[in-house]
Each structure stands twice: as structure tokens, then as C-alpha cells.
Chains A and B, each alone.
Chain A
């Protein structure tokens, strides 16, 4: 075939758009959100995550925990598991994008980031993420437009709750 081409399609309208009101909304949210976030945080952090991700929230009760499910417009779902005392002990996610980790990991974000660095140190190649430290477990798998992962604090799991339930 010939290496013909045209750039016309790039010169007409229908290109990517400014969404000024979106950036305004981001500013408003950003200014009124508490700094605390999900993992290890209290229930107010769930609402903070919902606002940050501009998502809808559904809450269901299980015997040993309360599940707060946050779903973004795009379809990325974050599940935050809260114990009876109102502390988020685990988060799980799946969907077409990776959720904002600083938002959902809160005070555990730095430990996560350091764990990622260690995971990559020394050799190349792509594989699932598996951070298993005494105070934090983060596991992630999937491919572009289909990500799956979870993070939990082993010492915070309520009695009777196993990692297999954190999906």
C-alpha cells in the first residue's frame, strides 16, 4: 500500500476541549477537601475520596465490616472496607483506570511509593505489583483499561476477615 497520508483531520474542529468549568470544580473540591484519605482513615475520608474522584458512593453492610463503594464516571470502582469502629482497613479497586493512590492510601502513600521503587529495583520486565510488608500489603494486576488491585493493613483486619474478602 502507499504511504499516503493526510493531516486534514487534525486541522478541523472536534479536537480536545478545554473544560473550564471542570478545572473550576477541581479547585473548589481541592480547597474544601480534608487532607486525610482512605486507608487507615475514618469515614470522613471515604467522602473525601468520593469527592476527589467525582464519584458516586454506595454503602453496604457486611457482618464484619461496612463496604463503601465509590464509582467514577469512567467506571473505575474503589471499595473501601471500614471496621465497626469506623476505620478503613482495606481498599480494593478495578476498572479502566488506576485510582488516585495518594487519595485512597492516605498516610500509607509514601510507604507504597517506596515499595514500588523497591519492587522495580534491579531488573526490568513487566509483571504484577506485589508489595508485602508487615504494615502494608499492596497488590495490583491487569492491563491497560482493565486494572485490578487492593491494599490493606494486615494488623487492622477485623477478626474473621481474610485477605480473600478484599476484592
Chain B
């Protein structure tokens, strides 16, 4: 009963216009990257928004190229996120004019993503070559974030939330989603996946002023760029240096591949925690276990900017109740448990967020002891968890090193 139309590509005019303009994060002609370059610097530096500090955000740059060409643009200020999948960039930061828009007939394919904080991003699904360090994801679908003209964002995408279609709202020029899945939706959104209805809110075909939920083949969904690299494509390592308290900035590394190079081997000291169907694991804290089976899932997420967990005994800040404001530094401990029964103890500290934000004349961007409540939820090990650790994220369905359990898993 479904009618499949062949997919065509609209290539914008201006395809041969050179290396774009000089807005946004700048524009750089990119040659052949050095072989073996699987290390990308990341900075916890407050982000790209002038006058605004993004606390505990890891930022990097990516290079977008018109598919199959060396006409490229490097865009900085991209938030690195292990809690989502795919590259999403503000249209306002893109000066390339040759990206390929996915279309069907006279309609254009759009993508929506919602985040747990009730923010959302809407934008066209466009095809680009994506280069990060020495790695390239060829012809991958990215979301170009922009509000539509001529029609409204479908209400099941906006969903009463915040439209972060601008730098000030997003706090970044884009999001690089490199979590443990290769695409942002998967088989549920694929026309051959067996679902009767296209799930929402993921993909929409929009034309003539209206949008309709749509199926999209997995190969054309918004993809985790790492999964599309020709090598070093089975996962990532995020490394941030040890940090005690707060600092103006921190510099770390995003390393591509697990067990594929000499610099991305799993050390014998690391523990591998396999994940459940929702890419979460179990954490026991103060005698209570938080996992998906009781509705309180726990997870590691570089894109969360603190350590968020339920503890009604810690006072929250009066001005910003999303963070904890204990009267003195708290030393706490939790136990992680993977679906493979691997366990590990995590020692962490929570400090008064008001004091942290005031230190360093308010200019600090990196905080190892920033935390807040996740009332009704479980453990959300955000960016502070990564200070002093090498955190491996393997991608669902990807090959794993000999002896390692099937992906997805986290290891540290």
C-alpha cells in the first residue's frame, strides 16, 4: 500500500563558487588529511557565544564539504555529545552552498530531534562529506538547523518545548552526536522496518505548506559520523584531564576507533559495561538502584553539563534549582552495573554551584563538582564524569576488539 518514489537530489546553484564565505567558524580549503589522524582536540572553553559561558560543554570543530569535492568549510563551536546521534549544525553558520538536500518529488526531507530537557531542533536533511581530524564520513546526512519558511514546525516536533534554532539558545554552533547508535532513529523509521506508521518526531516530508511524517531508509537517516568513517568507525574515546574544582578551560581529546590503532586500545585496567535496549545501565546509590526497568534509567552522557542524580538530602540552589548547593563539598559514591554484570565504584564530589559559578570572577567554564537533581530519574553522568577518565563508547552493531562483548557498551 505504500508508494515509494525514487529519491533525487537537489544540488544548489553556486556549487562551484569556491570555499564558501568567511562567516561563522571560518572557511578553510581542506586537502588530504594526514594518515592515521584519529585524534581530535576538544575544549571545555565556554563555547562560541560571545559573553555567555556554557558550563561543562566540550566543543570542537568539524569540516563540512560539498559531497565529493574539496570545497569545504570548517565550523567551530560544535558541542560534542555522546547522548545523541548525528551532526546538526545551525544553518546560519554554514556558508557552503553545495550541500545536497534530500527531496522526494517537490517535497523536502526534514528532521526533528527532541532532547530530554524539552528543547528541540528542526532542520532540513542535507548530505555532506564530514571531516573530523583525519577521518571522513562521506555523503552523510546532517541536519541543517533552521526554522522553516512557508510552513510551521509540526506540533509533535515542537511539543511545547524550546526551539534552539539559534546560537544563543543552543549555546553552540551545532551538536556532534557520537553516542552508542549509528543513526538517530534506526529501523523504526525505515520503510522496510515493519512499522505501519512513521514514528514521530523524526522525519517529515514537507511541501506545499504542509509536513507529513515519513519513513526514511536507515542509510539516509541523520548518521553518527563515526559510524560512517572508513576506518576507526566502531566507537570513540573521550579523554579529559583530571580536574579538581573549577578551571577557566580544559583541553582534551576525542579519539576515533576502539582497538583499531595503537592509541585506542582498551587498557587492562578498564571495565566494560554493556547497555540495555535503551542504551542505559544501572547505578546503585544510597541503597537505591536506578535503571530502566524501574523507570529510572542511568547513563553516561558527555552532553549533560553536570552530574545529575536523585538525592533529596542535598539542597538545590535557590536561584537555579537545577543545581545542587550543599553547604560544603560532598564526597559521594555510587556503583555502576552493566547488563553484563560488570560493576565499578564511582567516587565523585558535589560542590555548591553558586560558589562554583562565582569563582574565577565568573569566568570559569570547567567544573568537576557541578551537579544537580534528577528527581524522578536515575543517574546522568554528565561531562564531569569524564575529567580524569578515558571513556570508551562502542557503537551498536559495530565490530569490537577481540574478547570484548558485543556493542553497545561503555568502558573506562
Which B residue's beta carbon lies closest to that of A166? B376
**Cα distance A111–B127 in the bound complex, in angstroms:** 38
Question: CB within 8 Å of A: which of B1-16?
Answer: 1-9
Q: Which residues of A are found within 8 Å of B68, using beta-carbon distances?
A: 4-7
Residue of B nearest to A165 (CB): B295
| Given known contacts A109-B160, A130-B321, A148-B297, A125 and B116 CB-to-CB distance under 8 angstroms | no
Please state if A13 and B7 are interface contacts (CB–CB under 8 Å).
yes
Q: Is A142 an interface residue (CB 8 A)?
A: yes
* A141 in complex: contacting residue of B116, B169, B230, CB < 8 Å: B116
Is A16 a contact of B134 with CB atoms below 8 Å?
no
With A17-B214, A101-B159 known as contacts, the answer to whether A128 contacts B139 (CB < 8 A) is: no
Known: A128-B374, A146-B278, A163-B376. A73 touches B197 (CB 8 A): yes
**Residues of chain A within 8 A of B138, CB atoms compared:** 3-6
A58 interfacial by beta-carbon distance below 8 Å = no
Cross-interface CB contact of B54 among A2, A5, A20, A125, cutoff 8 Å: A125
Residues in B whose Cβ lies below 8 Å from that of A142: 116, 278, 280, 297, 299, 377
Q: Cβ of B131 < 8 Å from any Cβ of A? A: yes
The reply to whether B305 and A126 form a contact with Cβ atoms under 8 Å apart is yes
Q: Which of B47, B104, B116, B169 contacts A18 (CB 8 A)?
A: B104
Q: B162 touching A120 by the CB < 8 A rule?
A: yes
A61 near B: Cβ within 8 Å?
Answer: no
Question: Residues of A contacting B191 with CB < 8 Å?
Answer: 14, 16-17
Q: Do A126 and B109 have beta carbons less than 8 Å apart?
A: no
* A128: chain B residues within 8 A (beta carbon): 116-117, 304, 308, 322, 372-375, 377, 380
A155 to B118, CA, bound (A): 24
Residues of A within 8 A of B170 (CB): 124
B205 contacts A144, C-beta separation under 8 Å: no
Q: Measured between C-beta atoms, what is the minimum distance from A102 to chain B in Å?
A: 6
Interface size on B, residues (CB 8 A): 112
Tell me which residues from 9 to 63 in chain A have a Cβ below 8 Å from any Cβ of chain B: 9-23, 25-26, 54
Residues of B within 8 A of A122 (CB): 320
Q: Do the beta carbons of A7 and B139 come within 8 Å of each other?
A: yes
If A125-B55, A148-B297 touch, whether A21 touches B308 (CB-CB below 8 Å) is: no
A126, B160: Cβ atoms closer than 8 Å: no
Q: By the criterion CB–CB under 8 Å, are B70 and A3 in contact?
A: yes
Of B136, B161, B199, which one neighbours A1 at CB under 8 angstroms? B136
Contact between B197 and A25 (Cβ–Cβ < 8 Å)?
yes
Interface string of B104-129 (1 = CB under 8 A from A): 10000100011111110000000101
B179 within 8 A of A: yes
Please measure, in the bound complex, the distance between the C-alpha atom of A100 and the C-alpha atom of B120, giving whole angstroms.
13
For the complex, give the distance between the alpha carbons of A75 and B215 in Å.
16
Q: Take A17-B2, A129-B118 as given contacts and tell me if A7 and B195 are in contact as well, using a CB distance cutoff of 8 Å.
A: no
Report how far A117 CA is from B119 CA in the complex, Å. Answer: 9
List residues of B (180-206) whose CB comes within 8 Å of A's CBs.
181, 184-186, 188, 191, 195-203, 205
Provide the bound-state CA to CA distance between A22 and B258, in Å. Answer: 42
B359 in the interface (beta carbon within 8 A): no
Chain A residues, Cβ within 8 Å of B265: none
Contact A144 B83 (CB under 8 A): yes
- Docked-complex contact A16 and B104, CB < 8 angstroms: yes
> Interface code B70-113, partner A: CB below 8 Å = 1, 0 otherwise?
10000000000101110000000000000010101000010001
Asked whether A145 lies within 8 Å of B203 as measured between CB atoms, the reply is no
**CB <8 Å contact, A141 and B54:** no
How far, in angstroms, from A16 to B287 measured CA to CA in the complex? 48
- Closest residue of chain B to A18 (Cβ to Cβ) is B3
Besides A76-B199, A96-B185, A96-B199, 17 other A-B contacts (C-beta < 8 A): A5-B138, A7-B9, A7-B67, A9-B139, A10-B139, A11-B9, A16-B191, A22-B198, A26-B213, A97-B199, A116-B161, A126-B116, A128-B372, A128-B380, A140-B116, A142-B297, A145-B185
Sample of 21 A–B contacts (CB below 8 Å): A3-B131, A4-B136, A5-B138, A6-B138, A19-B2, A19-B213, A73-B188, A94-B295, A95-B278, A116-B162, A119-B118, A120-B169, A126-B115, A127-B306, A128-B117, A142-B278, A144-B179, A144-B181, A145-B85, A145-B181, A146-B299
Interchain residue pairs A-B with the least CB separation, the first 3? A15-B7, A167-B295, A124-B171
